[in-house]
Amino acid sequence: KTFVGTSENALYIQIWTALIAMLLIKFLQFKSKISWSLSNLIAFLRWNLFTYRNLWEWIDKPFETKPIVPESVQYPLPFKGFGQHRL
């Protein structure tokens, strides 16, 4: 692959970030009760990246664990007669 930055410090940061990411993924693979292949685990993580799930339940039962839907916190706007402005 290619590097984003060209300075020595940018290269070190990118290499360390990649190593830490691989370490975390290998730890998930080790702790899982399912024998994930590394490519499948990465694909499933990428697919579920923006859903909120309990990671330890999901890693063992990826097809049974439903995403946790947070409560909607939307407040009504106090407009009276919206769209009926008189000049």
CA distance 68 to 87: 48
pLDDT of residue 23: 95
pLDDT tens digits, one per residue of 18-67 = 999 999 999 988 988 888 888 888 888 888 778 777 888 888 887 776 77
pLDDT reported for residue 22 = 94
The mean pLDDT of 79-86, rounded to a whole number, is 60
Structure tokens at 17: 């970030």
Answer whether residue 84 shows pLDDT above 70: no
Calpha distance 79→17 (Å, rounded): 49
pLDDT for position 6: 83
* Domain range annotation of the chain: 1-47
